[in-house]
Chains A and B, each alone.
Chain A
Amino acid sequence: MKLAKTLPLAAFALALAAALFAVLPPRPARGFDVDAFGQLPVLEGGRVKPADSVARNSLLMIRGQQGFRFEGRPVSADEWLLDVLFRPQVADRQPVFVINDPDVLGLMGLRQTQDRYFSFLTLIPHLEEIQRQATAAQPVDPKQRTRFQSAVVNLFDRAYLYYRLENTAQLARSRGLAAELSARDTLGAASRQEALAELAFFRPLPPGPGDRADGWRGVGEALRSPPAADGAGLRALAGISSAWAAQDPVAFDRAVAELGAADRAARPDAVSRASSEVLFNRAEPFYLGMVIYVLALLVLFASWAWRPELLQPTAFALLLAGAVVHTGGLVSRVILQGRPPVTNLYSSAVFVGWGAVILGIVLERIYRKGFGTAVAAAAGFASLIVAHHLTGDGDTMEMMRAVLDSNFWLATHVVTITIGYSGTFLAGAIAIAYTLRRHLAPRLDPVTTRTLVSMTYGVICFALFFSFVGTVLGGIWADQSWGRFWGWDPKENGALMIVLWNAIILHARWGGYVREKGIMAMAIFGNVITSLSWFGVNMLGVGLHSYGFMDEAFWALAAFDGSQLLLMALCLAPRRFWRPAGGGAAEGGGHAAKPV
């Protein structure tokens, strides 16, 4: 009996230990303290962030991954950024551009092969043609573009991002920042400085003593101002440039430390925030959470076949560990961004999953049947997968547009409505579990069935409350900022649909028009409504809420909704309808729909 206590504890501790292990600083790459470079704060996209975030997000946009292998060894995002900035001749040979579209490959005279990654060097001869095609496609509305047009615009954007990165600290293929620094008054220097100021992707130099807090400077601007105003930052950056170009680890570490000291002297808060963000980047809490949730799910599946008294608590312990990691990630984001948890589509997915997991944990504590664990782990995993696929646009902590710049409303309306999504999805997930159990379980015990039905009912009430309050709060925000409480905008309609659907379920149940199976099928349809309201309305591309716009996920959404409709049919079909005879006789708990 001892094992039943120690195993869950051990699983919980192991999962958390894995999370802590991920936070440990990496070993220096080839003797260079690349990590210290990654912690240097820079200004990009209106936000001060560590160079590491710029590196990871840029590589994610260009290659779809945060690291890669080159010449037989792994290259981290930070190392790649250093190469792009200071050794472009090396970076240009690294295969970082992922190209999947056969027509775009054909445009460059390339054949589609196993290897989908290409270097900038391969792209260079075709850049003019790519730009021509992209310029032709750009005026076309993103929703109307053909696959080729979207792909070529996308490739051009990535190539341009790469080109801007190369020309951020010094002009690519120039003699380096140190040489530029000593030749700043010579013939042609002014135009080079102008080009640098124009192209730079981020601003690496801290604001001077009298400047505004967000007055970070690019290299081009710094070179144009008188040498007296340089500060230690510019010289240190030149040192990093020379040291990396010469591959001199000692000089590199010294120069990075100098720039770090200059940053710390100017903006100590930015430095500490940047290093926290590097920790967050390194931990990848949402990725880790996803893995732990899958483990919890697997252990729970195993528990239905073998020693449930041992494995079910273990699965629950893993779920708890996943929730701790997930919560940690969420809280870190809130602290780093200084914003409530939901600020864009990506963070809404993270938060919906979190809400579902917490609700599931509560349900598991109340009912202790393992179903709470199952649906919570499944919902957490699924939503983190969705979030993972929403990161393609780069920085997930981008600055808020003026109309959204209100922590009060973000904290109330957006969070409440997102909890409403969580609740509706969780009710749908329980209903799916009910459906699968009804057809797959060898025998149905009516008590468990009743438990599942009352769980679903409770969660729907919860979801109705939050989606109604969230919707009305949204109306009040709209009244404050756009001058009308309700404008029948697609996103508002989507929220209203969730409210209406949950209200319909509850009234139908109170009236006795639907019973167990009916409620469950309706709860599954809630998944369809919520997914449409969450993502579907963004695809229409109309209305005031279109800052959440996305166009590629259409087929994923269609597949999801199709699967839900199938599950609904399955839910309504007689138990084990595929068995020729007698299989449906064991219908259990069919009379269990009395109000709870």
Chain B
Amino acid sequence: MRPRPASRVWDALTSLKLTIVCLSLLMVLVIACTLAQTTMGTLGAVNAYIRSFLVWWDVPGTAWRVPVAPGGGLVGLVLTVNLIAAQARRLELSWRKAGLWIVHAGLILLFAGEFVTSLFQKDMQLSIEQGQTLNYVESPRDVELALVDVTDPAHDEVYAVPESLLARKQGIPIPGTPVELRVKAFYPNAELANRGPGDPPPLANMGVGAMVSVRPMPPEASDEAVNRRAAFVEPVAGGRSYGTWLVSNALGAPQSFLHEGHTYTLSMRPTRRYLPYAITLEKFSHDVYPGTDIPKNFSSLVHLSNPSRGEERDVLIYMNQPLRYDGKAFYQASFGKGDTLSVLQVVENPGWLLPYVSCVLVGLGLIVHFALVLRRSLRRRQAGQLVETA
């Protein structure tokens, strides 16, 4: 009698062979990801091999992309399904196997944690100078085009256009203002230099852009290097053009134009995310061991002010000691400007607790399992001695 297809699928799903194949594939992916980091940067390699369902290969000389291997996401998913299915099928629900049950539940949680992380984790940064108060964090990689109405000295009206919208190179009406931004060109990475006599005529006719030549570049491979995005935009308001401007995160000060009594500034800046509270850097400290430049300690003394919750307090953030607040964690990451600037890494990950729970489960499970095995073998030995004496 041939087994039914459903039971064959069930056999395959619960088989130990599948577990081994998945573990082996995962190992190959991890090796490939590690080696690829030297050329693609950590983030690029992780996105290509681990946080993907398929590993793609660009066929050289063509625009084709061919999937060549399952990615970490797919393998992880299959492994998780295999783990759960095999638990359900093979491991009988008995005290004897309680340890293994807990271990595997912990492992499933660990995989779940990595899935949650890859889907929901947001990495931001807070670069703050001593004495400065900020109520936003910035993306270390993404940029936005900010149109700010600075007419009222008391507060700014900020309108931000994300990079993805700029890349479409269309007209973008800015809601709440009469302004429409027409994107004439957008470069994911570019080299900006002072215009020389041999350079082609500039696209920009207003602001510093008229004096700058823009050469498109391939995106940066390394994680540390930031892409210098550049775009040429033409603000149009009330049927009138205000010229074409060059905006880039490589340029310094914002550029401004005046429309019907309102002053607007244009700037390309790291994507901001505003916080419902403010953070002030009171003091940044950086000690080195005497007679060396080996860092001994970095710490930032910050003041946290959240009027909506009536919170006013000082927090010391230092190595291995982050501030966890409002779903975000603030870590001491870097510093600069002669030790007056502190850079805090800000991470938002709803799944941050999962690995901790999983670690406890697996540790507990292994202890239970080993204790049970030890008890069994002691009993067996005792029984053996009884037989000998008998």
A interface residues, Cβ below 8 angstroms from B: 43-47, 202-203, 214-216, 218, 398-399, 401-403, 405-406, 409, 465, 468-469, 472-473, 475-477, 479-490, 493-494, 496-497, 500-501, 503-504, 507-508, 510-511, 513, 537, 540-543
> Would A484 and B121 be within 8 Å (CB), given that A494-B34, A540-B34, A540-B37 are in contact?
yes
Residues in B whose Cβ lies below 8 Å from that of A484: 117, 121, 123, 347, 349
For the complex formed, measure the closest distance between the CB of A595 and the CB atoms of chain B, giving whole angstroms. Answer: 12
Residues in A whose Cβ lies below 8 Å from that of B349: 484
Residues in B whose Cβ lies below 8 Å from that of A401: 294-295
The chain B residue sitting closest to A508, CB to CB, is B20
Assembled-state Cα–Cα distance A482/B288 (Å): 20
Q: Is B297 in contact with A402, judged by CB distance below 8 angstroms?
A: yes
For the complex formed, measure the closest distance between the CB of A132 and the CB atoms of chain B, giving whole angstroms. Answer: 25
Assembled-state Cα–Cα distance A537/B289 (Å): 28
- B289, B331, B347, B366, most chain A CB atoms within 10 A: B289
The listed residue (B37, B290, B347) touching A216 by CB distance below 8 A is B290
Q: Is B114 in contact with A486, judged by CB distance below 8 angstroms?
A: yes
Q: Is B290 in contact with A483, judged by CB distance below 8 angstroms?
A: no
Assembled-state Cα–Cα distance A482/B346 (Å): 10
8 Å CB interface, B285-337 against A: 288-292, 294-298, 319-322, 329, 331, 333
For the complex formed, measure the closest distance between the CB of A457 and the CB atoms of chain B, giving whole angstroms. Answer: 13
For the complex formed, measure the closest distance between the CB of A495 and the CB atoms of chain B, giving whole angstroms. Answer: 10
The listed residue (A479, A488, A513) touching B46 by CB distance below 8 A is A488
> Would A493 and B23 be within 8 Å (CB), given that A44-B291, A203-B291 are in contact?
no
Say if the beta carbon of B27 comes within 8 Å of chain A.
yes
Q: Is A480 in contact with B321, judged by CB distance below 8 angstroms?
A: yes
Q: Is B16 in contact with A510, judged by CB distance below 8 angstroms?
A: yes
23 inter-chain pairs at a CB distance below 8 angstroms, sorted by A residue, are: A43-B290, A202-B291, A403-B319, A405-B319, A406-B319, A469-B362, A472-B110, A472-B362, A473-B359, A475-B359, A479-B355, A481-B322, A483-B123, A483-B329, A483-B347, A488-B34, A490-B34, A490-B37, A494-B34, A504-B23, A507-B19, A510-B16, A511-B20
> Would A214 and B290 be within 8 Å (CB), given that A490-B37, A497-B27 are in contact?
yes
Residues in A whose Cβ lies below 8 Å from that of B50: 488
Which 8 A-B pairs have CB atoms at the shortest separation, nearest pair first? A46-B289, A511-B16, A483-B347, A402-B295, A46-B292, A483-B331, A472-B359, A481-B320
Q: Is A541 in contact with B38, judged by CB distance below 8 angstroms?
A: yes
8 Å CB interface, B327-382 against A: 329, 331, 333, 345-347, 349, 352, 355-356, 358-359, 362-363, 366
Say if the beta carbon of B17 comes within 8 Å of chain A.
yes
Q: Is A487 in contact with B355, judged by CB distance below 8 angstroms?
A: no
Q: How many residues of chain B have a CB within 8 Å of chain A?
A: 54
The chain B residue sitting closest to A406, CB to CB, is B320
Say if the beta carbon of B31 comes within 8 Å of chain A.
yes
Residues in A whose Cβ lies below 8 Å from that of B38: 540-542
Assembled-state Cα–Cα distance A137/B352 (Å): 45
Q: Is B20 in contact with A507, judged by CB distance below 8 angstroms?
A: yes
8 Å CB interface, B101-127 against A: 110, 113-114, 117, 121, 123
Say if the beta carbon of B26 comes within 8 Å of chain A.
yes
Q: Is A45 in contact with B23, judged by CB distance below 8 angstroms?
A: no
Say if the beta carbon of B33 comes within 8 Å of chain A.
yes
The listed residue (A46, A482, A493) touching B296 by CB distance below 8 A is A46
For the complex formed, measure the closest distance between the CB of A339 and the CB atoms of chain B, giving whole angstroms. Answer: 14
Q: Is A485 in contact with B113, judged by CB distance below 8 angstroms?
A: yes
Say if the beta carbon of B30 comes within 8 Å of chain A.
yes
Q: Is A501 in contact with B359, judged by CB distance below 8 angstroms?
A: no
Q: Is A45 in contact with B34, judged by CB distance below 8 angstroms?
A: no
Q: Is B23 in contact with A507, judged by CB distance below 8 angstroms?
A: yes
Q: Is B296 in contact with A402, judged by CB distance below 8 angstroms?
A: yes
The chain A residue sitting closest to B346, CB to CB, is A483
Say if the beta carbon of B24 comes within 8 Å of chain A.
yes
Assembled-state Cα–Cα distance A513/B277 (Å): 59
For the complex formed, measure the closest distance between the CB of B297 and the CB atoms of chain A, giving whole angstroms. Answer: 5
For the complex formed, measure the closest distance between the CB of A516 and the CB atoms of chain B, giving whole angstroms. Answer: 18
Residues in A whose Cβ lies below 8 Å from that of B45: 488
Say if the beta carbon of B42 comes within 8 Å of chain A.
yes
Assembled-state Cα–Cα distance A510/B23 (Å): 15
Assembled-state Cα–Cα distance A488/B71 (Å): 14
Residues in B whose Cβ lies below 8 Å from that of A406: 319-320
> Would A485 and B352 be within 8 Å (CB), given that A490-B37, A504-B23, A542-B42 are in contact?
yes
The chain A residue sitting closest to B331, CB to CB, is A483
8 Å CB interface, B1-53 against A: 16-17, 19-20, 23-24, 26-27, 30-31, 33-35, 37-38, 42, 45-46, 50
Q: Is B289 in contact with A45, judged by CB distance below 8 angstroms?
A: yes
> Would A485 and B362 be within 8 Å (CB), given that A214-B290, A399-B292, A504-B24 are in contact?
no
Residues in A whose Cβ lies below 8 Å from that of B34: 488, 490, 493-494, 537, 540
Known: A45-B294, A483-B345. 6 other contacts (CB 8 A): A402-B297, A406-B319, A475-B359, A482-B331, A486-B117, A504-B20
The listed residue (A465, A489, A504) touching B366 by CB distance below 8 A is A465
Q: Is B296 in contact with A405, judged by CB distance below 8 angstroms?
A: yes
The chain A residue sitting closest to B24, CB to CB, is A504
Interface code B62-87, partner A: CB below 8 Å = 1, 0 otherwise? 00000000000000000000000000
The listed residue (A47, A409, A465, A542) touching B37 by CB distance below 8 A is A542
Q: Is B345 in contact with A482, judged by CB distance below 8 angstroms?
A: yes
Q: Is B290 in contact with A215, judged by CB distance below 8 angstroms?
A: yes
Residues in B whose Cβ lies below 8 Å from that of A497: 27, 30-31
Residues in A whose Cβ lies below 8 Å from that of B110: 472
Q: Is B294 in contact with A46, judged by CB distance below 8 angstroms?
A: yes
For the complex formed, measure the closest distance between the CB of B116 and the CB atoms of chain A, giving whole angstroms. Answer: 10
Q: Is A486 in contact with B345, judged by CB distance below 8 angstroms?
A: no
Residues in A whose Cβ lies below 8 Å from that of B298: 402
Q: Is B26 in contact with A500, judged by CB distance below 8 angstroms?
A: yes
For the complex formed, measure the closest distance between the CB of A555 and the CB atoms of chain B, giving whole angstroms. Answer: 19
Assembled-state Cα–Cα distance A46/B9 (Å): 64
Residues in A whose Cβ lies below 8 Å from that of B366: 465, 469
Residues in B whose Cβ lies below 8 Å from that of A543: 37, 42
The chain B residue sitting closest to A536, CB to CB, is B34
The chain A residue sitting closest to B351, CB to CB, is A485
Residues in B whose Cβ lies below 8 Å from that of A473: 359
The chain B residue sitting closest to A201, CB to CB, is B291
Residues in B whose Cβ lies below 8 Å from that of A402: 295-298, 319
Assembled-state Cα–Cα distance A497/B322 (Å): 29
> Would A481 and B289 be within 8 Å (CB), given that A511-B20, A543-B42 are in contact?
no
Q: Is A476 in contact with B359, judged by CB distance below 8 angstroms?
A: yes
Residues in B whose Cβ lies below 8 Å from that of A488: 30, 33-34, 42, 45-46, 50
The chain A residue sitting closest to B349, CB to CB, is A484
Residues in A whose Cβ lies below 8 Å from that of B319: 402-403, 405-406, 481
Interface code B209-230, partner A: CB below 8 Å = 1, 0 otherwise? 0000000000000000000000
Q: Is B27 in contact with A500, judged by CB distance below 8 angstroms?
A: yes
Assembled-state Cα–Cα distance A540/B37 (Å): 9
Assembled-state Cα–Cα distance A477/B359 (Å): 12
For the complex formed, measure the closest distance between the CB of B165 and the CB atoms of chain A, giving whole angstroms. Answer: 29
For the complex formed, measure the closest distance between the CB of A115 and the CB atoms of chain B, giving whole angstroms. Answer: 35
Assembled-state Cα–Cα distance A358/B356 (Å): 31
Q: Is A504 in contact with B322, judged by CB distance below 8 angstroms?
A: no
Residues in B whose Cβ lies below 8 Å from that of A504: 20, 23-24, 27
Q: Is A43 in contact with B355, judged by CB distance below 8 angstroms?
A: no
Q: Is A481 in contact with B31, judged by CB distance below 8 angstroms?
A: no
> Would A45 and B291 be within 8 Å (CB), given that A399-B296, A405-B297, A494-B34 are in contact?
yes
Assembled-state Cα–Cα distance A504/B18 (Å): 11
Assembled-state Cα–Cα distance A41/B329 (Å): 43
The chain A residue sitting closest to B295, CB to CB, is A402
Q: Is B320 in contact with A485, judged by CB distance below 8 angstroms?
A: no
The chain B residue sitting closest to A216, CB to CB, is B290
The chain A residue sitting closest to B51, CB to CB, is A488
Assembled-state Cα–Cα distance A508/B46 (Å): 28
Assembled-state Cα–Cα distance A399/B290 (Å): 11
Residues in B whose Cβ lies below 8 Å from that of A476: 355-356, 359
Assembled-state Cα–Cα distance A398/B37 (Å): 29
Residues in B whose Cβ lies below 8 Å from that of A405: 296-297, 319
